[in-house]
Amino acid sequence: AEAYSNLGAHQSDLGRREEAIVSYNKAIELKPDFASVRNNLGNVLKDLGRNEEAITCYNKAIELKPDFVEAYCILGHCMKSTGRNKDAVNAYQQSLSMKPEYAPSLIGLSHAYLKMGLSVDGLKLKRRVEGVISFGPNGSMRILEKPQ
């Protein structure tokens, strides 16, 4: 299963996403409780615009590993991109309940709030994110270890 997982990651990195899907599915066939592979498969499917299939993968990864912060976050991204902003908010909040300063979830949550017309909540989070992310003069960005 590990070998197929590694092969899938390599194929994905090379942009060979359909081949990566086959490899990840083979890894899952050999090891059905492989949460990180289900997450990686979700990422490939999301990249291909197959959001509903990706959502299924992220939910299964979370079922297998309930503290999978990253899976909750990317699930939020998928929900948001399909217009399910309330579900996105729930996913981001789950992620943040485990890792309160997880910048990708903070950013996603602020965008979901703004899309829902909750500008006060969205702007509050945006200010909070600015404490977690340092923006350089040339538009560069880096995630800080601790909020300032």
Q: Is residue 78 over pLDDT 90? A: yes
Q: What is the CA radius of gyration of the chain?
A: 16
Q: For residue 135, what are the CA distances in angstroms to 76, 128, 141?
A: 24, 13, 5
pTM higher than 0.95: no
Q: 61, 45 in Cβ contact below 8 A?
A: no
- State in Å, rounded, how far the first CA of the chain is from the last one: 42
* 20-56 pLDDT, tens digit each: 999 999 999 999 999 999 999 999 999 999 999 999 9
Q: Tens digits of per-residue pLDDT, 94-134?
A: 999 999 888 888 888 888 877 777 665 555 655 555 555 55
Neighbours of 112 (CB within 10 A): 27
pLDDT at 143: 54
